[in-house]
């Protein structure tokens, strides 16, 4: 006969243990689950009392799994994954729809070339909504969002699309009109991306003449660069096709890395793990 104390362990206590063990912090677990830190601590304390053993060693500024906690964790994670997978298999058939919210430049230059792979991997009905770039990952509709930032969005599936690298680029015809590309007009994009001031600070070199045109989207600024209206400080991964085809040309050898990039984000409540893996493998590199 099984021990009744093990038959009545609340799932919310087990989830609190798994989240805390995975993240290594009561505070981080509270942030991911939307609970308070005392609530997480209380649930784990209740769990330890019911199990009759300590799962964590608590220190002033850190916590660590005990030997028992470390041994139990993989079994807990396997059980929770099995519960999620079976729920998706039994009740998730109608959920195989993915709505992606992204800027027009990301849709055109990153998602579309990879869309066939995503369709094959996910088998989902996919809707794509374009939007003006925002750092807010929670406000707009969409099961999947692509946003520019440092990846500090808690409680979401997340993965960077690529490692951001920035360099100036220009239409070759415009480049032929001057001996020094810095004499050409400068194109700028509003928003969170690196600016010409950042480029000057990175290289220690003067930039081009003052901004001639400023755009609110990267797609519009890229179209202006293609039309020969000025020099664009562009994302190398996003503009690789234009560079390979000769529509645009790099100027100089310097490349500026950036700690922020485009991130693939999805709510764990609105998308299955299988869908997330299809998205991650198809859209990131």
CB atoms under 10 Å from CB of 133, counted, come to 22
State yes or no: pLDDT of 140 exceeds 60. no
- With bands split at pLDDT 50, 70 and 90, how would you rate the model's confidence at 96? confident
Return the pLDDT at 62. 86
74-83, 210-219, 241-250, range with the lowest pLDDT: 210-219
Sequence-distant (6+) residues with CB within 8 A of 252 are 167, 168, 181
Q: Compute the distance between CA of residue 198 and CA of residue 36 in angstroms, rounded to an integer.
A: 39
Q: Compute the distance between CA of residue 260 and CA of residue 64 in angstroms, rounded to an integer.
A: 31
**What pLDDT digit, counting tens, does each position of 145-186 carry?**
999 999 988 888 999 999 999 999 999 999 888 888 888 899
The CA–CA distances, whole Å, from 151 to 22, 78, 98, 157, 265 equal 18, 27, 21, 10, 9
- Provide φ and ψ at 139, rounded to 5°: -85, -40
CB atoms under 10 Å from CB of 229, counted, come to 18
Return the pLDDT at 144. 92
Domain architecture of the chain: domains with CATH: 4-91 (1.10.10.10), 95-161+261-283 (3.40.190.10), 165-257 (3.40.190.10)
- With bands split at pLDDT 50, 70 and 90, how would you rate the model's confidence at 2? low
Return the pLDDT at 223. 95
């Amino acid at each position: 006969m099984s021990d009744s104390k093990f038959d009545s362990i609340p799932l919310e206590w087990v989830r609190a243990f798994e989240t805390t063990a995975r993240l290594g912090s009561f505070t981080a677990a509270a942030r991911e689950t939307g609970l308070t830190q005392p609530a997480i601590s209380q649930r784990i304390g209740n769990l330890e009392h019911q199990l009759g053993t300590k799962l964590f060693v608590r220190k002033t500024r850190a916590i660590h799994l005990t030997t028992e906690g470390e041994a139990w964790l993989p079994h807990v994670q396997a059980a929770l994954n099995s519960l999620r997978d079976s729920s998706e298999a039994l009740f998730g058939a109608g959920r195989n729809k993915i709505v992606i919210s992204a800027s027009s430049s990301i849709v055109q230059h990153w998602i579309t070339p990879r869309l066939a792979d995503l369709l094959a991997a996910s088998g989902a009905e996919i809707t794509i909504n374009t939007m003006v770039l925002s750092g807010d990952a929670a406000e707009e509709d969409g099961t999947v969002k692509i946003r520019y930032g440092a990846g500090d969005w808690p409680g979401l599936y997340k993965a960077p699309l690529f490692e951001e690298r920035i360099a100036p680029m220009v239409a070759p015809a415009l480049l032929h009109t001057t001996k020094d590309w810095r004499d050409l007009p400068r194109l700028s994009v509003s928003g969170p991306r690196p600016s010409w001031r950042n480029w000057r600070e990175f290289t220690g070199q003067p930039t081009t003449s003052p901004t001639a045109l400023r755009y609110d989207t990267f797609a519009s600024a890229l179209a202006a660069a293609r039309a020969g209206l000025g020099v664009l400080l562009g994302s190398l991964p996003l503009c690789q096709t234009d560079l390979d085809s000769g529509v645009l040309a790099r100027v100089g050898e310097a490349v500026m890395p950036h700690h922020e990039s485009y991130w693939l984000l999805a709510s764990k409540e609105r998308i299955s793990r299988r869908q997330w893996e299809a998205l991650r493998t198809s859209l990131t590199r």
